[in-house]
Amino acid sequence: MRQKFFIATLASAMAASSAASAQTYTIDKITITGSQTVPTANLYAVIKEHPGMKATRDDIVGDQDAISAVLGKANVVGGIKTQLLGPKANGHYEVTFIVEDKGAQAPVVTHVAPKLGEQIIDGNKSIPTDQLIAATGLKPGEDMTNEKVLAAETAIQGVYKAAKLPVSMAISGETKMMDGGKVNVYWHIVETKAKKKRRNTEDEGGQKVDE
């Protein structure tokens, strides 16, 4: 699932320098605004910093990440900006997490086509297995679709037709999911000796009819 909620950088008051990261801020107040999809109480519940505590820039970034994770799980589209306001007269700071909530969006699910493991053929007495497999054009490891399986079945039928053998054939295919996202294709072939057609110039007794 693709997370759609992105994180904005902290305000310029918290520049990304080693000195800013190491500096400790005494927090007087923490505010979360703008969340429409997720109750604000759920967002306050995941932050570790609270009024009266001392926090570094990294601590506040961690709270921002925690809020973003909750919004991401709810499939909220938008962003978040964090402001550090201060110092106030007492030297303390206020932190405001500003959520840009554009509503929830259903997660995008990507379906990955299974890969071909191998083809197994049985019942083919008249034509070698390797010849039939080659005719399908399918290669181990390639993406498999229903269309490819149907095309492979048609190709096998074409080999029998081109061979003009004194047999008729019926074929059925079966796919089986294997470990590692692979699929095996099983071809079951039934060959039947073709019946000889009766000549139109012969009567029931087998004698040629005079005109």
pLDDT per position as a tens digit, 84-114: 998 988 999 999 999 999 888 877 777 778 9
Q: Which residues contact 60 (CB under 8 A, 6 or more apart)?
A: 10, 14, 25, 49, 82, 84, 95
Task: Tell me the pTM.
Answer: 0.49
Q: What is the pLDDT of residues 39-83, one digit of tens each?
A: 999 999 999 999 999 999 999 999 999 999 999 899 998 889 999
Q: Tell me, what's the pLDDT at 135? A: 96
- Confidence at residue 106, expressed as pLDDT on a 0 to 100 scale: 77
- What residues have CB less than 8 Å from 146, skipping those under 6 apart? none
| Residues 161-190, mean pLDDT to the nearest whole number | 93
CATH of 12-104, one of 1.10.260.40, 3.30.360.10, 3.10.20.310, 3.90.1150.10: 3.10.20.310
For CATH 3.10.20.310, the residue range(s) in the chain are 12-104, 115-193
Which residues face 10 on adjacent strands? 82
Q: Is 68 helix (H, G, I), strand (E, B) or coil?
A: helix
Which residues, listed in sequence order, are joined to residue 94 by a DSSP beta bridge? 29, 85
- Measure the CA–CA gap between 188 and 202, rounded to whole angstroms: 39
Superfamily of domain 115-193: membrane protein fhac (3.10.20.310)
Q: List beta partners, residue 192.
A: 168
Mean pLDDT of 107-124: 87
**Confidence label for 196 from pLDDT (cuts 50, 70 and 90):** low
189-203 average pLDDT score: 71
List pLDDT tens digits, range 128-167.
999 999 999 999 999 999 999 999 999 999 999 999 999 9
Distance CA 84, CA 57 (A): 9
Amino acid at 201: T
Q: How many whole angstroms separate alpha carbon 19 and alpha carbon 14? A: 10
- Write b or e for each residue in 68-85: b if 16 or more Cβ atoms lie within 10 A of its Cβ, otherwise e: bebbbeebbbbbbbbbbe
Token pair of 8, please?
Answer: 């904005």
Please state, as a whole number, how many other Cβ atoms lie within 10 Å of the Cβ of residue 119.
19
pLDDT, residue 208, reads: 45
pLDDT at 200: 56
